[in-house]
Copies of this chain bind each other. A is one copy, B any other.
């Protein structure tokens, strides 16, 4: 008998782990902290990759591949970068039967190795902008691993660009965040996103500015889904990446880096999952439709239907060792948007019984116009996921004006939006007292939230500065 799921609102953490196990997305591997991505989980990643890759290429970004190993001396070159990553590094000290004279770091991110190449590749303004991306595995040692959220090894894309001016680099970092990541997260993954700028304490090690797109989960915690960094000329100065401009002057380039990872799948589970398992946005669902013939007798009819629906990703489940109920239950957990059941009655009437993953009731459909009906249902489901994510986000962020309310909101498992003076010490105190950190200064806020923030004072220190701005605070994964 199949195992049930815990309730999402009652035990979020256990529910999350069980959805991953029962939908067969991934598992812990014998290598401490790392995961094996199972075929069903990997299919989701492939669809994410394909769609994101297309969007990046449309901007003129090209893919390349840089080495897994980074000489230790490279990582040491940029001080903040080294400090940011030091505790997480995995080091190869022994290779080919010998101790290495210089240890190699397994890349935690590839800025340093890529920028050594950029220093050789870039000569004049005609080589700019240089826009390269790589799909790769990276390693960051994690003490508290969690499937898809924090694992010692994960898969991601990392983009690295070089530009002639700081302004251009900043605009490009923003373009990636808003036009690629935010749109992808909203249009494809059906998320409702908070996008904005990170505070200095939360930005990337070595960056001047970090832009971020985050979701708030049912626990009220923030989950970073994508970041884009304006690195200014910090790395260019260290790696001596310069170009000759039109007037023959030598200048440092200005750079960006940006990435999203298999963590997106963690976000998908947390945002769209319900007490019955996954609910997958149609654009990245391994199967948009599953066809379930009740018995062997309906398999021929089901095959014809599959053929007719060939413009969709369709799975025909004829595993009759399982009961129809077991099969339905299993595809429900796997989040397939649409199920089509076929029994003898349906065949006789040339009909099919349709279930949509977000609705309890089943509908008997005429088979004559099935392609169009499926399209409409997928669009409806897509829209409904997006709508419920939006409503959920509204309920999870509370505007607060006073420190007591701030603490209460965080303790209740929600995110707070509050004016903050921007002082790092103030931020440190907030974190000490609530474990919440600043997530970002959002690019835009709904009018209602702005209206609710009637105090212009800093929520913690009460300073009433001109620069006090409304920041989102939450616990983070």
Contact = CB atoms under 8 A, between A and B. Distances in A.
A31 interface: yes
A460 interface: no
A35 B65 CA distance: 8
A39 B63 contact: yes
Interface string A93-106: 11111000001101
Nearest to A141: B96
Contact of A88 (B88, B96, B139): B96
B63 A42 contact: yes
A450 to B, nearest CB: 43
Given A91-B92, A94-B91, A113-B31, A153 B67 contact: yes
Contacts of A117: 27, 29, 36
A38 interface: yes
Contacts of A31: 67, 69-71, 104, 113
A155 B31 CA distance: 21
Contacts of A68: 34, 68, 106, 137, 139, 153
B63 A36 contact: no
Contacts of A30: 71, 74, 113, 116
Contacts of A126: 321
A140 to B, nearest CB: 9
A43 B31 CA distance: 33
A373 to B, nearest CB: 28
B63 A43 contact: yes
A89 interface: yes
A142 B95 CA distance: 10
A352 interface: no
Contacts of A94: 90-91, 93, 103
A155 B88 contact: no
A385 to B, nearest CB: 25
Given A31-B113, A113-B30, A143-B96, A63 B46 contact: yes
Nearest to A66: B36
Interface in A55-83: 62-71, 74
Nearest to A132: B39
A216 B116 CA distance: 37
A272 to B, nearest CB: 22
Interface in A261-299: none
A78 to B, nearest CB: 16
Nearest to A142: B96
A35 B68 CA distance: 10
18 contacts: A29-B66, A31-B69, A31-B71, A31-B104, A36-B66, A36-B117, A43-B62, A65-B155, A68-B139, A86-B97, A89-B97, A91-B92, A92-B92, A92-B106, A93-B93, A93-B94, A94-B103, A97-B141
Given A39-B62, A90-B96, 9 more contacts: A27-B117, A30-B71, A31-B70, A34-B68, A43-B63, A68-B139, A69-B152, A90-B95, A91-B92
Interface of A: 27, 29-31, 34-39, 42-43, 45-46, 62-71, 74, 86-97, 103-104, 106, 113, 116-117, 126, 132, 136-137, 139, 141-143, 152-153, 155, 321
Closest 8 CB pairs of A and B: A96-B141, A39-B62, A90-B95, A37-B65, A91-B94, A34-B67, A31-B67, A29-B67
